[in-house]
Amino acid sequence: MEILVYGIINSIILSLMSLGFSLVYSIARVPNFAHGALYITTGYMVWLMVNKLQGLPYILAIIFAIGATAIIGALIYRCVLIRIRGMEISEIIATYAIGLAILEGLRWGGLRGMTFSLPPFYPGAVSMFGLLIDYQRLIIVGTGILTFILLYLFTRYTKIGLALRGIAQDERAAMMLGINSDMTAVISLAIGSALAGFAAVLLLPLGNIVVEAGYNVLIFAIAVCVIGGLGSWGGTIVASFIIGFAQILTEALGSSHYQMVVALLAIILTLLIKPSGLFGKQKELEERV
């Protein structure tokens, strides 16, 4: 029972971390290696606003920080990626470098040690299913499921959402219908970054804000997306459940050191067995003729 509950919590945590990355890749075809950096940036911004600007309500700080991160994401595309669109090698190097610069810049700028943390939304815990679960985790699960539903509705019923899905499915066809692929890329990067920030404000109260978390988030997001299939949102959710439960199981059987190792081994295993992931739409040998 314990494993089931913690497994679900962990899985939703992973999926929140990964949705942003998956979205950006499926729409803009850019693997956003700065994903982890954007995550930590939002957390740090919230911390700064809450601790330096006395009197600013927590909720406002969150909204500002997520908005700022979305703008940063959009800027990354508009300033840098737009020049190297289509050159996969340069895109990867560029987003990796930007992510690295942000993370190490934050580390240099003061984000060292374990003293940075965000307060949980609702302190305390409640007893459910015979276990003591804190409210924050419950909020995470609830918000996570809400996010999935909202994203689903957004992409099916709003014009922008449909445009994003169109570009994700077939870029050329969508462009012929008048959808501006640069604009959708900017929007997708903004939404993806906002999702990373959203995940940050939900998850960081569970621990501390440290730069290493940025790298961890990136690795987990990539692991989930590779296993679920780069480009498939449903796959992301399913994969996060698989890895989430796998991690909880190893923690129960072994030690918690292995969380990262599980994720990384899962990537290797997937690449060996079914490289396109569970629901991946890309085939390994792409038909480019």
Partner 1 sequence: MSEEAILSVQGISKSFGGVKALDNVSFDIYPGDIFGIIGPNGSGKTTMINCISGFIRPDSGHVLFEKKDITGWKPHKIAHIGIARTFQLMRPYYSLPAYKNLIIPLWSPRAKKFGGWRGGGKHGDRDTVAVDILEEIGFERDSRVPYKLASTLPTGYQKRLELARCIAMRPQIIFCDEVFSGLSMSEIAGMMPLIEKLKAEGVTLIMVEHRLRELFRVANRVMALNFGQKLVEGDPRVVIENPKVREAYLGTEEV
Partner 2 sequence: MEAMRKERIDRGLKVRTEGIYAISGVREILYLLGPRLLLIVGLMALPLVLELAPYWKRVINIMCAYALLAISFDFLANYVGLVCLGGAFFTGVGGYFSAIYNVYFGIPVYLAMPLAAITGAAFCTLCLLPCLPLRGVYFAIVTLMYPLLFTRIIEALNILGGTNGITGLDNLPGSYTEHYVIILMVLASLFGMRRFVNEDIGLVLRGVKDNDQSVRASGISVTRMKIIAVFVASLIGCFAGAYIAHLYMWAGISLFAMDFSIIPIASTVIGGGGTLVGPVIGTFILVPLSEFLRFFGTFRIVIYCAVLVGFIMFKSEGLMIYFQRKYHQFERWVKV
Residues engaged in binding partner 2 (CB under 8 A): 31, 33, 79-80, 83-84, 88-90, 92-94, 96-98, 100-101, 104-105, 107-108, 215, 219, 222, 226, 230, 255, 257-258, 260-261, 264-265, 267-268, 271-272, 275, 282, 284, 286, 288-289
Q: Which does 31 bind (CB under 5 to 8 A by kind): partner 1, partner 2, none?
A: partner 2
Letter for the amino acid at 279?
F
Q: Which of 1, 114, 132, 285 contacts partner 1 by CB under 8 A?
A: 285
Identity of the residue, 50 or 221, whose beta carbon is nearer to partner 2 in the bound complex: 221
| Interatomic CA distance for residues 92 and 279, integer angstroms | 23
Shortest approach of partner 2 to residue 175 CB, angstroms?
A: 22
Q: How far apart are CA 181 and CA 187, in angstroms?
A: 10
Nearest to partner 1 of 52, 288 (CB atom): 288
Question: Is the four-CA dihedral 200, 204, 209, 210 of positive or negative sign?
Answer: negative
Interacting partner of 120 out of partner 2, partner 1, none (Cβ under 5 to 8 A depending on kind): none
Q: What is the DSSP letter of 207?
A: S
- CA 152 to each of CA 145, 149, 224, 229, 233: distance values in angstroms, whole numbers, following the listed order: 11, 5, 19, 18, 10
Which partner, partner 2, partner 1, none, binds residue 132 by CB below 5 to 8 Å per kind?
A: none
The reply to whether 287 sits near partner 1 by the rule CB under 8 A is yes
Q: What is the DSSP letter of 81?
A: G
The answer to whether 271 and 226 have CB atoms below 8 angstroms apart is yes
Task: Give the one entry of partner 1, partner 2, none that residue 255 binds, where binding means its C-beta sits below a cut-off of 5 to 8 angstroms depending on kind.
Answer: partner 2
Least separation in angstroms between residue 137's CB and partner 2 is 25
CA-closest candidate to residue 270, choices 262, 112, 29: 262
**Which CB atom, from 11 or from 32, has the smaller least distance to partner 2?**
32
Nearer to partner 1, 132 or 285 (CB): 285
Considering the complex, what minimum distance in angstroms separates the CB of residue 36 from partner 2?
11
Q: Does 289 bind partner 1 (CB under 8 A)?
A: yes
168 φ, ψ (degrees, to nearest 5): -65, -35
CB of 160 to partner 2, least distance (A): 26
Q: Which is nearer to partner 1, 130 or 286 (CB)?
A: 286
- Nearest CA to 267 out of 275, 259, 279 is that of 275
Q: Closest approach of Cβ 283 to partner 2, in Å? A: 10
- Rounded to 5 degrees, what are φ and ψ at 131? -125, 155
Residue where the block lists tokens 């997520």: 66
- The one of partner 2, partner 1, none whose footprint includes residue 154, by CB under 5 to 8 A per kind, is none
Kindly provide the residue ranges of all beta strands, DSSP E only, lying in the chain, ordered along the sequence: 125-128, 131-134
Query: What region does 178 belong to: left with phi over 0, alpha with psi -120 to 50, or beta?
Result: left
Handedness of CA 281, 229, 182, 79 (dihedral sign): negative
When the beta carbons of 100 and 141 are compared against partner 2, the nearer one is 100
Q: Which of partner 2, partner 1, none does residue 108 bind (CB under 5 to 8 Å by kind)?
A: partner 2
Q: Which residues bind partner 1 (CB under 8 A)?
A: 285, 287, 289
